[in-house]
Structure 1
Amino acid sequence: MKTVVNTSKAPAPIGPYNQAIKAGNTLYISGQIPMSTPSGELVSGDISKETKQVMENIGFILEEAGYNFRDIVKTTIFLADMNDFSEVNGVYGEYFDDQAPARETVAVKTLPKNVRVEISAIAFK
């Protein structure tokens, strides 16, 4: 069974997708960008603040679905500039303990709304 998960605490989708889909015990969270809610404004100018906003948005979606960061088993980090990796990694690491999820980080040419970081996640209970 597939269930749509959306919360007003995280930015509304900007295209034909949902914030997350729950399929069985697995939650697939769409890529989140550093957009604040409810203003809809992008957090920009400091990659650490941008990453924190992305992680907070993921947290709001997890909460809506009844999950938490410990339930995340896989993430993908997309960066517009791999030179931001160290700062992004530092903020990202604050959300996980010794059971951090599997992950890959990839550099891409551009991201939605020309942001510098986007993160997607898969959680499992």
Structure 2
Amino acid sequence: MTKRRISSGSPLEPVIGFCRAVRTGKQIMVAGTAPIEPDGSTTPGDAAAQMERCCAIVAKAIADLDGHIDETVRTCIYLTDRADFDSVAQVHGKWFGDARPACTTLIVSGFIRPEWKVEIEAEVMEA
């Protein structure tokens, strides 16, 4: 089965040796996606603003691999502060509410950049 890979342009991809998303057949897997702006800086603002950016990156990765966000079957949200859950969950619902994927949320001690408040992973399975 052929694999297709895409990059989001994150400056971390070549350093770490990964790509934003991989498509194999009808499945698309999107790597942990942080709030990184096109210039490599961190998205400013609170966890909800950062989640918006993460979801936009994920949605673009899915579309770039000819997938549809409404076919997302699984997401995993990573937060550094459980107090941010409600606002981040609302953003998740905005982006993934029609798909209603299986979703796990984990509280973690931190990310590569200390200013990051959230990351998200996603998997798509086409019908």
Q: Compute the TM-score of the two structures, normalised by the length of structure 2.
A: 0.88
In structure 2, the partner of 1:11 is 10
1:32 equivalent in structure 2? 33
Instruction: Provide structure 2 residue ranges, at least 5 long, that are not aligned to the other structure.
Output: none
Question: 1: distance between equivalents of 2:123 and 2:113?
Answer: 23
Q: Per the alignment, in what secondary structure is the counterpart of residue 113 of structure 2?
A: helix
Q: 2: distance between equivalents of 1:107 and 1:30?
A: 18
Work out the percentage of aligned pairs sharing the same amino acid: 24
Which residue of 2 is the match for residue 23 of structure 1? 24
Structure 1: where are the runs of 5+ without partners? none
- Any runs of at least 4 consecutive aligned residues in structure 1 with deviations exceeding 3 A, and if so which? none
Letter in 2 for 1:24: G
SS in 2 for 1:59: helix
C-alpha separation between the residues in 1 aligned to 2:65 and 2:27? Answer: 10
* Residue 4 (structure 1) shift: 3.5
Residues 58-116 of structure 1, C-alpha deviation per residue, up to 9 Å, x if partnerless? 01101100112111100000001111000000111101234310010000011121211
Residue of structure 2 equivalent to 1:43: 43
CA-atom RMSD, angstroms? Answer: 1.6
Letter aligned with residue 11 of structure 1: S
Corresponding residue SS for 1:63:
helix
Aligned length: 123
